[in-house]
Amino acid sequence: MSENKFSPFELIESFGHEQVVFCSNKELGLKAIIGIHNTTLGPALGGTRMWNYASDEEALIDVLRLSRGMTYKAAVAGLNLGGGKAVIIGDSRTQKTEGLFRAFGRYVEGLSGRYITAEDVGTSIKDMEYIMMETRHVTGIPIEVGGSGDPSPVTAYGTYVGIKACVNEVYGNDSLKGKKVIIQGAGGNVGKHLCKYLHEDGAVLFVNDIYEDKLKKLVTDFKAKVLNDEEVYTTDADVFSPAALGGIINDDTIPKFKVKIIAGAANNQLGEEEKHGKMLKDKGILYAPDYVINAGGLINVYNELEGYNRERALKQTAGIYDILKSIINISKKDNVPTEVASRKIAENRMEAVSQAKRIRIYRDKRLFNQRNM
Ligand code: NAD
């Protein structure tokens, strides 16, 4: 990138996006960017984030980064979806209006299904309802209006089966009986459901959260032991399962870990993907890439697009077990971090599907020529 000069096209090219849409409506205060990274596998799906970015450049970089991440997430999960995301620039506490979201909805509608939106940080179901007044291309909506509802229980289920896949790799069998599992953010939407699955399977729970009242219930229901903010990284256990913050695997925490497995739902766990993925591998800690193990929520909304069925969504989410096993096998075979192995699976799948589509176009043309002979 040229020094000190903000060049949107150079940025977009460096992330490899197909299309980026800038949405502006001065009267309604709308400034938004929709990033469509890659639609090889299907329509680009990803939530709309509302955030008070310090600059337009920061907003663009965020939407490019997040939408590219969605491409990889959908590809590894085996879904026929591409990667997309949108950002609305503004303060989500003070700048939300019906007009703003309806104007944004019209931009989504204008993309004719190439981009499908959903809730994200800073947006709510209420905002999605306004967007839905202008477009059908919205997912992750409440059960009452025909949607799939809160995805957290499905995300938690996917995380649970992902933990079992990792335990199988390290201990030679799937049993969680007596296994010590640390859950950070245990009182949250994903954390509390995950605790239930783990407890029912015989795991011993160590929990941490910033809200004591949320922890009390886990102590009563699951005999969990509470850890403070330091102990969550230093306690000797089998599994560390982050379900709160991003960036918690870093130069500071990696030397402290006394676990064999890190497998949790939190987004963007690695401070720096390549560096910290490699540091975990060198330390002998098996890391389940976050966007693979937490794909249950995306699988859930994908099912909503096809007419929601909870059984089918859970069955598909159970597939995270085999996906993680394949990633671990490639990681061992190629001697690379699991993060690198999962990117390889995603890229191979996109390459194969794009190759298959090329063949289809050729055959269609041949038929056309024959008919016109
Ligand atoms: P949530 O807000 O319901 O839960 C997060 C929990 O973490 C809360 O109980 C909160 O009190 C706690 N917390 C916040 N800061 C903390 C800190 N410094 N130390 C310890 N605990 C802290 O969110 P959620 O929906 O359960 O999501 C959890 C994580 O999983 C997030 O990173 C989210 O992006 C990711 N994720 C969630 C889903 C989903 O379906 N909900 C899907 C994919 C990824």
Domain containing 59: what range? 8-138
Residue 65 sits in the same domain as residue 117: yes
* Cα–Cα distance, 242 to 63 (Å, whole number): 24
Q: What is the pTM of this model?
A: 0.92
Tell me how many domains the chain contains. Answer: 2
Q: Read off the CATH number of the domain in which 225 is found.
A: 3.40.50.720
Structural domain contains residue 160: yes
Residue 62 sits in the same domain as residue 23: yes
- Of 111, 138, 165, the residue that ends a domain is 138
**Distance of CA 262 from the midpoint of ligand 1 (Å):** 16
Q: Whose CA is nearest to atom 8 of ligand 1?
A: 188
pLDDT for 365: 65
Contact in structure between 166 and 320 (CB atoms under 8 Å): no
pLDDT for 66: 94
Q: Which residues are catalytic?
A: 85
Question: Do the strands 239-242 and 82-89 form a parallel or antiparallel pair, or are they unpaired?
Answer: unpaired
Residue 186 sits in the same domain as residue 293: yes
Q: Read off the CATH number of the domain in which 23 is found.
A: 3.40.50.10860
* Cα–Cα distance, 225 to 165 (Å, whole number): 24
Average pLDDT score over the chain:
94
> Measuring CA to CA, how many Å separate 193 from each of 156, 186, 228, 310, 362?
6, 9, 21, 16, 49
Nearest to 126 by CA among 53, 190, 28, 48: 48
Residue 133 sits in the same domain as residue 270: no
- Of 114, 138, 162, the residue that ends a domain is 138
Residue 103 sits in the same domain as residue 19: yes
Tokens at 158, concatenated: 């996917």
**Distance of CA 191 from the midpoint of ligand 1 (Å):** 7
Contact in structure between 292 and 264 (CB atoms under 8 Å): no
Ligand 1 atom nearest the C-alpha of 295 is 43
Structural domain contains residue 363: no
**pLDDT tens, residue by residue, 319-371:** 999 999 999 999 999 999 999 999 999 999 999 999 988 765 555 666 666 66
> 5 falls in which pLDDT band (50, 70, 90)?
confident
Ligand 1 atom nearest the C-alpha of 191 is 26
Question: Do the strands 82-89 and 30-38 form a parallel or antiparallel pair, or are they unpaired?
Answer: antiparallel
Residue 299 sits in the same domain as residue 170: yes
Residue 226 sits in the same domain as residue 331: yes
Structural domain contains residue 144: no
Residue 21 sits in the same domain as residue 158: no
pLDDT for 272: 94
Protein residues with CB under 6 Å of any ligand 1 atom? 151-152, 155, 184-185, 187-191, 208-211, 214, 243-245, 265-267, 294, 297
